[in-house]
Amino acid sequence: MNFSISLTINGARRNVELDDPRTTLLDLLRERLDLTGTKKGCDRGQCGACTVIVDGRRINSCLALALSLDGADVRTIEGVAQAGRLHPVQEAFIAHDGLQCGFCTPGQIMSAIGLIQEGQAGDDPERVREGMSGNLCRCGAYQGITAAVLTAQKALAAASRKEVA
């Protein structure tokens, strides 16, 4: 059975023909749309490597059925840097060495962007740590990750204050 869905991916509207109802958003991105930046670490919603932002919220794409996302707005790691300029979260991850092997990194970054947008953790390191605990890092880059999120949060908060002013 074929299904036709419409997704906005990184700002671009796409019509997607799904030949298999079982396809998750993760496998749609990676295996059919050649957007391999999002990684599969466990496929069971237990590691966060597959985190993307759907309709403004960070979710595990491995547990999202593509079919049920008709009309959704999807943001992946490929859409984060704009016109060759890194996002403050990306810059902060590099500056604080919040990555080692890099496999969990796209998920960490999408999760961080989502966390900052949720606006609950603010500049409290403990809340940031808790909020980022859905992204496992076996290399153990947590110190750098937390520092990166705090730095980026500050930069983004300052930027939005500037906008408002």
- Candidates 42, 49, 118, 109; CA nearest to 77 is 109
State the minimum distance, in angstroms, from the CB of residue 154 to other proteins. 18
Contacts of 46 (CB under 8 A, 6+ apart): 136
- Based on the shown chain and the rule CB under 8 A, indicate whether residue 151 belongs to the binding site for other proteins: no
Concatenated DSSP letters for 115-154? HHHHTSSTT-HHHHHHHTTTS--TT--HHHHHHHHHHHHH
| Site residues (CB under 8 A) for other proteins, limited to 31-90 | 31, 34, 36-49, 51, 57-60, 62-65, 67-68, 76-78, 80-81, 86, 90
State which of residues 9, 93, 113, 147 lies at the interface with other proteins (CB under 8 A).
93
State the minimum distance, in angstroms, from the CB of residue 9 to other proteins. 13
| 69: DSSP letter | G
State the minimum distance, in angstroms, from the CB of residue 78 to other proteins. 5
State the minimum distance, in angstroms, from the CB of residue 67 to other proteins. 5
